[in-house]
């Protein structure tokens, strides 16, 4: 089974897309939604539809394992509407001015900065998952 990346992006109007980042096939796959989960779900539905249509036409479709990845600019833009710069600074340790530049797409984050952002968001997510309200 091949493994392929599915890129999730958020557009300027706030809608999400998820698309196959490969030209190794005779087909493309894309999904859309109001949030990332809807876009990913729509992507998988499109993949299943493609398999069914190709089967009806006597064509096989490879089984593909998908790895969901996020476009860094879209991710930062999306999370900047949920997490302010001060909080993002606390989560990542990156300077607020630099975070604003990344969020406004004035400069691109280095791989090291991306890793710090990813680690900060993942740790925050893990802390949220441990919440249990009484």
- Asked if the structure places residue 134 within a domain, the reply is no
Is residue 42 domain-shared with residue 78, that is, in the same domain? no
Mean pLDDT value across residues 74-86: 81
Structural domains counted in the chain: 2
CATH number at residue 59: 3.30.160
Encode pLDDT of 93-116 as tens digits.
999 999 988 887 788 889 999 999
Q: Does the predicted TM-score (pTM) go above 0.75? A: no
Per-residue confidence (pLDDT) for residue 79, from 0 to 100: 77
Encode pLDDT of 29-47 as tens digits.
999 999 889 999 999 999 9
Is residue 6 domain-shared with residue 65, that is, in the same domain? yes
Give the bridge partners for 6, in sequence order.
20, 68
Is residue 66 domain-shared with residue 32, that is, in the same domain? yes
Is residue 63 domain-shared with residue 91, that is, in the same domain? no
Q: Count other Cβ atoms within 10 Å, centred on residue 85.
A: 17
Residue-range definition of the domain harbouring residue 23: 2-70
Is residue 81 domain-shared with residue 91, that is, in the same domain? yes
């Amino acid at each position: 089974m091949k493994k392929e990346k599915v890129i999730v992006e958020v557009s300027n109007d706030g809608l999400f897309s998820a698309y196959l980042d490969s030209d190794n096939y005779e087909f493309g796959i894309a999904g859309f939604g109001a949030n990332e989960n809807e876009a990913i779900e729509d992507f998988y539905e499109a993949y299943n539809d493609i398999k069914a249509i190709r089967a009806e036409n006597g064509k096989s479709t490879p089984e593909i394992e998908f790895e969901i990845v996020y476009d860094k600019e879209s991710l930062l833009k999306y999370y900047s509407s949920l997490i302010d710069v001060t909080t993002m600074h606390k989560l990542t340790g990156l300077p607020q001015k630099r975070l604003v530049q990344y969020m406004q797409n004035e400069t691109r984050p280095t791989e090291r900065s991306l890793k710090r952002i990813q680690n900060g968001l993942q740790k925050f997510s893990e802390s949220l998952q441990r919440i249990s309200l009484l």
